[in-house]
């Protein structure tokens, strides 16, 4: 029994993504169906997890930004002044405006640094012996970078 008629919105979005992937690549034969219990349901779950993980970290970063602006209203005021001076009241900022908004850019970078949603990076395997700041990292070791 196919579930697409009873799926929540995010699962329908994943199904749409998979169908688009199906049209563009012949290397994804296991992603075509969303029937529970089928061998191709596991890759669908992996795609669901990727989409959910991406939205979760975005929400956490947005919450950190709101917290920072609540704690530092003087920073918010200065940022608003920069937006008003560069953009004005009649439009939203675009990517082309970024070079003219250094304070806003710094706030965004500081939000990511100050309260990152993922404090540890992706583990990496060391291929060969390496020396970092006079410390030996042996080949085959797993290194987990600390983003802070």
Question: Per-residue pLDDT for 106 more than 80?
Answer: yes
Q: Supply the pLDDT for residue 147.
A: 72
Helix residue spans in 1-147 (DSSP H): 9-24, 41-71, 73-86, 102-114
Q: Supply the pLDDT for residue 29.
A: 41
The model's pLDDT over 3-42, given as tens digits with 9 standing for 90+, comes to 444 445 556 666 666 666 555 544 444 444 444 445 555 6
d(C-alpha 101, C-alpha 27), whole Å:
43
In this predicted structure, which of 85-94, 99-108, 115-124 has the lowest mean pLDDT? Answer: 115-124
Count CB atoms within 10 A of the CB of residue 133: 4
pTM: 0.53
């Amino acid at each position: 029994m196919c579930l697409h008629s009873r799926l929540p919105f995010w699962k329908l979005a994943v199904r749409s993504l998979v169908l688009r992937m199906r049209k563009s690549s012949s290397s994804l034969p296991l992603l075509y169906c969303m029937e529970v219990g089928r061998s191709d349901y596991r890759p669908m779950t992996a795609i669901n997890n990727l989409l959910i993980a991406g939205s979760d970290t975005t929400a956490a970063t947005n919450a950190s930004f709101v917290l920072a602006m609540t704690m530092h209203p003087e920073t918010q005021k200065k940022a608003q002044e920069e937006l008003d001076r560069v953009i004005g009241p009649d439009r939203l900022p675009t990517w082309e405006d970024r070079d003219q908004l250094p304070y806003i850019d710094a706030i965004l970078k500081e939000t990511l640094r100050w309260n990152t949603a993922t404090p540890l990076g992706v583990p990496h395997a060391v291929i060969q012996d390496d020396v970092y700041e006079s410390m030996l990292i042996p080949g085959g070791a797993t290194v987990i970078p600390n983003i802070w």
